[in-house]
Structure 1
Amino acid sequence: MPISDIKVRNLKSKDKPYKVSDFEGLFVLVKVSGSKSWRFKYRIDGKEKLLVIGDYPAVSLAQARQTRDAAKAQLAEGIDPNEAKQDEKRARLETKGHTFEKIGAALLEKQRKEGKTKATLDKTEYHLKLANQDFGRRPITEITAPLILKTLRKVEAKGNYETAHRLRARIGSVFRYAVASGIAETDPTYALRDALIRPTRVHRAAITDPKALGRLLNEIEGFDGQSTTRIALKLLALLAQRPGEIRHAKWSEIDFVAKVWAIPADKMKMRRDHVVPLPAQALALLNELRRMNGNGEYLFPSLRTWKRPMSENTLNAALRRMGYSGDEMTAHGFRASFSTLANESGLWHPDAIERALAHVEKNEVRRAYARGDHWEERIKLADWWAGYLDRVKAM
């Protein structure tokens, strides 16, 4: 005869444990201590087994019957309820080990092995730290889009709209890594694509007026700071490469005989090898620099240690020291100066200018046919640009 909740509640302890049956194998075990535990007795493969369901009153009579019915359904399919319970427990423990923080760390390690640049690794680490503060210890399968959005809104509230977008992308990369690893099923950041404030794109300040550029070059010539900083700025203007590529340049990449600077793909933004022709003016500066620190690894080592390149703030700080604000000129702006003035000259094929800047054609069809790198024209372009800078300095 089935028992009632009142009867279970009023069961008293005895000198020995005893059980009171409900029906269809379900019973409650009353222990000497007075605690009551639900059990389900069943047979599978000719053997009698016992499934421990849980203690009363945490598990009510109705809940115990539901568990008993679910176990009977498993038995009908040939599944042992005890084994299924252990499998579920193992899955839960495994899920708890798959936290966002641990998966993010695995992705970061993968990027290190792939040879990602230090700048990329640093940005990944920074973004993961922001995310880990809020939900790093949570199992990745429990992290939802609203939870991620709450973190992104905190970044937005500080006016850092670009950072919020990049953080969303970085969190998404962790989820996609988890999906590929069979740990998660979806990437919840996909639903947040339109949830964030779009940042206003601000182009880096650059001087494109020839006379103003000439004045800047003369200011650099008279720069009273570190000689290596002065040379770095002059090479930045001459070669029109990214400031990070100048700062991280190594002597092993410079070929004085062939008159080229070969930048390996892992240092380039577009992850493609890039060769820069060196005009006579650049070679003269490099020879001057070689007399200063040619025995080291980097062209522009840090003042603190020769094992690291100069700080990323050095070149912009030098421009500020010369009186140029961030709204007037930036270290990256020399590329825009070169691009604008070279294109305005009408002397050079636009593709040669783009190759000189290490830009990649966005149109896939056009890129497939534009396989040449305009090398001979780029050599002439480099010489012309160096001469052009000499002329605007003399204006």
Structure 2
Amino acid sequence: MPKRILPLSESQVESAQPKSKDYKLSDGFGLHLLVTTAGGKLWRFQYRHMGKQKLLALGVYPTVSLAVARDKRGEARKQLAEGLDPSMLKKMQKVPEASSFEVVTREWHERYKPQWSERHAGNLLTRLEYDVFPFIGNIAISEIKTSDLLAVLSRLQVRTLATAERIKTALGQIFRYAVETGRVVDDPTETLRGSLPSKGDRYSAPTMNCKAIAALLLAIDGYQGASVVKCAMQLTPLLLVEPGDLCHAKWEEIDFQKEVWTMPAESAGIAQSHIVPLARQSYEILRRLNSLTRHSRYVFPSLRTSLRCMSPNAIYAALNSIGLTNDVIAGNRFWEAAGTFLAEGAKVSSDVIELQLKLSKNQAAYDPMQFLPQRHEMMQKWADYLDELKNRGGDTVQERIDE
């Protein structure tokens, strides 16, 4: 059992004296006071983000009191719960607008736009606005490191490898432009080669067995954090989509009357939009969620502002808080499990399965309306199967599901 850290008192902070070495006085939940040999008293918040240990400076005592330091710690913890990096956000607040990554990128886009098709130029800018600018847009382009770019690509990779590859290519072009125009000296994208898996590895994650699925679903149902995040975790396996695709969903894409979610082509990663039929369980979760977030255009708005969608890192942070790793909810793990059950247990046609899971190699000929009634029925069978797994604790359902 972890050792309980007692909170600091004002008298402890005020009376702390320098020693022969710097030392820390911990207040718990990552906050500590660093007392230096010179007598300085510095507030620091220690945390982990994307698997890395980080340290955030919160100010100097007594200018920043114990109470204010705790407030800053609370704000940083909220940012982490949303999947954001407090240190990165602090950097973004200090940057002169003219030198930011977003400003340089828009300048690059405007310069080369005449060489591209109108559709390509529009799609590229949209991807950058949704998937890159919220994370590094306000940082000075000269301060961006390879690790910052890898963090952006890692988020995208979870959602769709194809989009991550496109963004990686665009980042290389942007930084080469920044070198040419004297904004940066070195191009941090040069070391990104091989940072993404090959396309052949896209569906290579190990399949989850029935007991593992049941344990995951039960753990999610027991999650005590934000309701919006919990709903996202519950819907990901039900809808058979990536967490990143789900987080970008908008209310205008949800048709409660027809019981479908229509993903736009940019999110679906194919030439046409993609229709996800809503099983009864998914419909009920979305109806419940609608009463919480209908003030935003996003089904899953950011915890900080309803003008932006929630980051999938909020889902991963929630999973970590209940002792699970990020990859347990990756769409490809459920696609394999669903494919096996639907083909062997529910006797669903392979054409229907492949079309719904977007596994067909002939995506150019994809018709989002094809087999729609059968796909509705298939998604209901999958949702019922997940309920049955939870109720049975993971025992495999061998019998055919009655129609």
TM class by smaller structure = 0.5 to 0.7
Contact preservation (8 Å) 2:175, 2:189 = no
Task: Note if 1:277 corresponds to 2:277.
Answer: yes
Deviations 1:100-125 (A, max 9, x none): 99754656895675344733664255
Distance 1:101 1:116, change over 3 A: closer
**Correspondence 1:1-395 to 2 at 5 A:** 104=112, 110=118, 113-116=121-124, 118-119=126-127, 122=132, 123=167, 125-135=170-180, 154-155=190-191, 160-162=193-195, 201=201, 203=203, 205=205, 207-326=207-326, 328-330=328-330, 333-345=333-345, 347-362=347-362, 373-395=370-392
State how far apart, in whole Å, the 2-side matches of 1:254 and 1:199 are.
30
Distance 1:283 1:100, change over 3 A: closer
Distance 1:360 1:117, change over 3 A: farther
What is the alpha-carbon root mean square deviation over aligned residues? 3.7
Contact preservation (8 Å) 1:206, 1:334 = no
Q: CA deviation at 1:269?
A: 0.5
Q: Which residue of 1 aligns with 2:57?
A: none
TM-score normalised to structure 2 length: 0.52
2:194 maps to a residue whose letter is Y
Contact preservation (8 Å) 1:279, 1:382 = yes
State how far apart, in whole Å, the 1-side matches of 2:230 and 2:272 are.
28
State how far apart, in whole Å, the 2-side matches of 1:199 and 1:377 are.
29
Contact preservation (8 Å) 1:206, 1:329 = no
Contact preservation (8 Å) 1:205, 1:329 = no
State how far apart, in whole Å, the 1-side matches of 2:320 and 2:341 are.
23
State how far apart, in whole Å, the 2-side matches of 1:151 and 1:320 are.
34
State how far apart, in whole Å, the 2-side matches of 1:327 and 1:107 are.
39
State how far apart, in whole Å, the 2-side matches of 1:100 and 1:136 are.
10
Q: CA deviation at 1:233?
A: 1.3
State how far apart, in whole Å, the 1-side matches of 2:337 and 2:181 are.
44
State how far apart, in whole Å, the 2-side matches of 1:375 and 1:112 are.
30
Q: CA deviation at 1:199?
A: 9.3
Contact preservation (8 Å) 2:250, 2:297 = yes
Q: CA deviation at 1:219?
A: 0.4
Q: Gapped runs of 5+ residues in structure 2?
A: 1-106, 133-166, 393-403
Contact preservation (8 Å) 2:253, 2:263 = yes
Q: Which residue of 2 aligns with 1:177?
A: none
How many residues align? The count is: 247
Q: CA deviation at 1:286?
A: 0.9
Deviations 1:335-382 (A, max 9, x none): 343234323436111111111123443388xx59x9972222111101
Distance 1:317 1:344, change over 3 A: farther
Distance 1:252 1:343, change over 3 A: same
Where 1:305 maps in the other structure, the secondary structure is coil
Contact preservation (8 Å) 1:214, 1:392 = yes
Contact preservation (8 Å) 2:339, 2:353 = yes
Where 2:276 maps in the other structure, the secondary structure is strand
Deviations 1:303-328 (A, max 9, x none): 11101100131222322222222465
2:391 maps to a residue whose letter is A
Q: CA deviation at 1:242?
A: 2.7
Q: Percent identity?
A: 26
State how far apart, in whole Å, the 2-side matches of 1:111 and 1:204 are.
32
